[in-house]
Structure 1
């Protein structure tokens, strides 16, 4: 381990990366969290998946922070087991 802090992302965060998208957009909406981070360009709506490490190296800053309650609810929904089929 390198000892560097992990970038704390929330669903709904709007982030700026070091280079702009080919469409000219500079801001991205975080819409998926995990080993891969899902980002949606705010200008053209293109969706990309980046490995967390790649995102951390390209990250320039937060434009807007998402709601922690949304991320917490999404985490609980993912951890909650689905309905069991009736026997």
Structure 2
């Protein structure tokens, strides 16, 4: 399962060309930030679950 500050791979690439996004808000809606250009997108949890391909890295692994 995903958590705050995890990096995820989305099915479709962003306009800047990357699929790597960081989760910056969790709740009923999920807010993600493009790792390349910094663009922020907010979508429902249902839409996020359908559009996410896989988790690239967990925030807990990066810290320690």
TM over 0.5: yes
Runs of 4+, deviation exceeding 2 Å: none
2:53 corresponds to: 60
2:26 corresponds to: 33
Contiguous gaps of at least 5 residues in structure 2 = none
Normalising by structure 2, report the TM-score: 0.88
Partner secondary structure for residue 40 of structure 1: strand
| Rg comparison, structure with higher value | 1
Deviations 1:38-77 (A, max 9, x none): 100001000110100000001100110122xxxxxxxxxx
What's the offset of the Cα at 1:25?
1.3
Cα RMSD of the aligned pairs, angstroms, is 1.3
Where do residues 13-32 of structure 1 align in structure 2 (5 Å cutoff)? 13-32=6-25
Kindly indicate whether structure 1 or structure 2 has the higher relative contact order, using CA contacts under 8 Å at least 6 residues apart. Answer: 2
Higher strand share: 2
Normalising by structure 1, report the TM-score: 0.66
